[in-house]
Structure 1
Amino acid sequence: MSKRPLKIAIVAGEASGDVLAAGMMKQILAIHPDAQFEGIAGPNMLKQGCTTLFDMEELSVMGLVEVLSRIRRLLFIRKTVLQHFTDNPPDVYIGVDAPDFNLPLEKKLKKRGIKTVHYVSPTVWAWRENRIYGIAEATNLVLSIFPFEKAVYDKHGFPCQYVGHTMADSIAIYPDQLLARQELDGVQLDKNAKVLALLPGSRGGEVNMLLEVFLQSASKLCATLDELHVVIPAVNKVRKAQIEEIVANFVDSASYASNMRISVLMGQSRNVMIAADAILLASGTASLEAMLCKRPMVVAYRLKWLTHQIMKKMYKPAYFSLPNVLADKPIVPELLQEDVNPVTISEYLIPMFATDAVKVPQEFVALHEVLKQDADKQSATAVLNLIGASSE
């Protein structure tokens, strides 16, 4: 490599990818302080100096059917990003998750002679394993966050490096619940308070689909408790406004229990989870974080009817929540579609607030140790090695 600054294109499509990308960027900057990052960035990437071409929120769309309503805009963004990096070739393009957006871009840029990396393997282990051939055509290297993913790529002879998960490196094996309660900004939680964390998702569609039933479930739980403090962290200002509107309507409804307090916070999701006695959350990366925070949880998800029918025919694993997928057994309750209702959810939550409830499931600890691999440094090193820039 010449002495000019590295030019790195990097695109993340949602909050979890923003965290992964920012950790990698920080480690690259430790070796190449003048490296330049450009692409589509979330708040954590922006703090590391990434220039963003579009708001990351525009890519945060979940579901096969739901994407269709945004397809024209998504195609425009992808075409614009492709043209930008064709005209201004980077040393490497890193697509962080968002495979439907990133992989077609990676394929076209690779054909133009630009090295490409895909960080977070698409779920080839879960459905459509033959996608791995398209992934190999689009990328020079896949960085996987789960150990079982690499075995799939090795079977087909395609480059893949297991790097672990950055959250496993940043969360203590045994988090301090009392300290987390003391450090929360915007709410005061007594050490003896009964606290339920609600995380209905980072996307607008998820929040609309799940938050009301989550609140109704919390209200039913209040029948067994003297008082319950519900804390809801919002991933950004847009989600916070959306959550506050739904909460306001719920408080005015007949479903609201008078012994329930509700606090909506900006960010702080990790401390909220650690501070909680139990967590009710949408399936996704948050369930992995809840596991690493060592808190009992109920994982729930709803899909549009047509999306669910399609996924039922395509999805292979027996479980959909990440803790259960990683353990290959049911270590947390997971509820889907019609099972996501206040009666069923509250029945699972009630035992989690018992005085003798197990606070640190040992399966969570074992999985944490498997994922703790210094992911930020490993991913950065893998990218720099690929482009021959591992040292200044």
Structure 2
Amino acid sequence: MRIGIVVGEASGDILGAGLMAAILRKYPDATFEGIGGERMLARGFNSFFPQERLAVMGLVEPLKRLPELLRMRRTLIEHFSDNPPDVFVGIDSPDFNLTIEERLKARGIPTVHYVSPSVWAWRQKRIIKIARSVDLMLTLLPFEASFYEQHQVPVCFVGHPLADDIPLQPDRAAARQALGLEENTTYIALMPGSRGGEVKLMGPEFWATAHWCLQQRPDWQFLVPAANAQRRAQIESQLSEVGSLPLTIFDGQSHEVMAASDAVLMASGTTTLEAMLLKRPMVVAYKLAWLSFFIISRLVKSRFFSLPNLLADRELVPEVLQKQVTPERLGGELMRYFDDRTHAAQLQQTFLDLHGQLRCDASEKAAAAVLQLIGKGEH
């Protein structure tokens, strides 16, 4: 069995490695090729290009790299057309992968896309291209599967690998011990984002919120995970301008920082799902440049932007946007979790229920769906 896979992000490498491991348990002689990351390479994957060459973010960076990206995509289409695999799996990176899938499907090669684009939230007309491109969509979240069913696109909800990896009952004491923190102190995680633009907009608001909170709760301590050395330098530069705070910066370790905290103030993103799985009360905030917000707010179709609220289809956690992002609003929302312990406990129970829904042994389920598609489901 020969399987083509293309991943463009580190998160896709995790999914790809899990998928490979599950297929290899059933078909030990299966081979895999395309573009993969370090975890996939460790399982014997044959990568035609370094995975990080696909990991481009934003609007301008991909344009600067466009000739190289188009050349890579053309090479992959030609290779898999001339040497048809049993199945081709594009993992995330929809702008790159869907065109490959469309071309290969037209040549009779079975195609799978693993991780739904946010088509249910915005640019919904992409569903037309998706239907043309894939024989099967694998989704991490249940509400995504419902959207594809409504549009007659074959779909399988497989659950989220993070939900498999994170224990249902996280150990806060162990996380504090690992970070060298005190057991009987109240810690608030401040997570203004992993990209420079996010930290530029959100960082000052979060530091001001910490100062506001200290006026009500002088004993609180704050924890900040910096995504990389550049973000750490940026955060330290911002903090040098706002006055002293009882705050500790960590290099990476966002998972441990959230697990050790009593509550989290965070920029919107996939880490909101991780905070939910860690059962941490959270306040989710986001600011965009006004023109970006003007455009996106007219394109987005969903009522919510944080994953806990999207999963529950109701407002579980506060979502604070644009001009509403003030120290008084953010601090007040944080304070509510400590003033109303019943509310916080109910929220954590709901998070536990949602965790159970997502805990499906995602890699095994994804492998079973891929194998069934190509008639290799029983072995």
TM-score, structure 1 normalization: 0.84
The answer to whether the aligner puts 1:56 opposite 2:52 as a matched pair is yes
| Alignment correspondent of 1:368 | 355
Shift of 1:102: 2.1
Aligned counterpart, 2:285: 300
Secondary structure, counterpart of 1:263 in structure 2:
strand
> Which secondary structure does the structure 2 equivalent of 1:376 belong to?
helix
Task: Quote the residue 2:63 is aligned against.
Answer: 71
1:329 matches 2:314:
yes
Q: Could you tell me whether the CA contact under 8 Å between 2:34 and 2:76 is conserved in 1?
A: no
Task: Report 1:16-55 matches (<5 A).
Answer: 16-42=11-37, 44-50=39-45, 53-55=49-51
Q: Determine the structure 2 residue equivalent to 1:264.
A: 250
User: Which amino acid in 2 is paired with 1:118?
Assistant: H
* Cα distance, 1:60 vs structure 2: 4.5
Deviation for aligned residue 1:293: 0.9
Change (3 A) 1:301 1:227: same
State the AA in 2 paired with 1:249: S
SS at match of 2:228: helix
Secondary structure of the residue aligned to 1:373 is coil
Question: What secondary structure does 1:9 align onto?
Answer: strand
Counterpart for residue 217 of structure 1: 209
* Amino acid across the alignment from 2:68: F
Picking from 175, 191, 198, the partner of 1:199 is: 191
Aligned to 1:147: 142
2:3/2:89 contact within 8 Å kept:
no
Alignment of structure 1 residues 160-199 onto 2, 5 Å: 160-182=155-177, 184=178, 187-199=179-191
Which residue does 2:235 correspond to in 1? 247
Distance across 2 between alignment mates of 1:211 and 1:93: 41
- One-letter amino acid of the structure 2 residue matched with residue 23 of structure 1: G
Is the CA contact (8 Å cut-off) linking 2:212 and 2:328 kept in structure 1?
A: yes
Aligned to 2:6: 10
Question: How big is the shift at 1:84?
Answer: 3.3
Gaps of 5+ in 2: none
Distance 1:273 1:44, change over 3 A: farther
In structure 1, give the amino acid aligned to 2:269.
G
| Alignment size in residue pairs | 373
Whole-angstrom CA distance in 2 between matches of 1:199 and 1:21? 28
| Alpha-carbon shift at residue 176 of structure 1 (Å) | 1.7
Distance verdict in 2 for CA 1:353–1:383, change over 3 Å: same
Q: Partners of 2:77 and 2:166 in 1: how far apart? A: 36
Letter in 2 for 1:220: W
The 8 Å contact of residues 7 and 51 in structure 2, kept in 1 or not, is answered as no
The change in CA–CA distance for 1:44 and 1:262 in structure 2 (over 3 A counts) is farther
Change (3 A) 1:282 1:75: farther
Cα deviation per residue 1:124-179 (whole Å; 9 max; x = unaligned)?
A: 32234332221011111100122222222223322111111112222222212112
Q: In 2, distance between residues paired with 1:371 and 1:230?
A: 30
Taking the aligned partners of 1:75 and 1:334, their CA distance within structure 2 comes to: 39
1:172 partner SS: coil
Amino-acid identity (%): 42
Q: Does 1:377 align with 2:364?
A: yes
Rounded Cα–Cα distance in structure 2 between residues aligned with 1:338 and 1:50: 48
Q: Using the TM superposition, give the Cα deviation of residue 213 of structure 1 relative to its aligned residue in structure 2, in angstroms.
A: 2.9
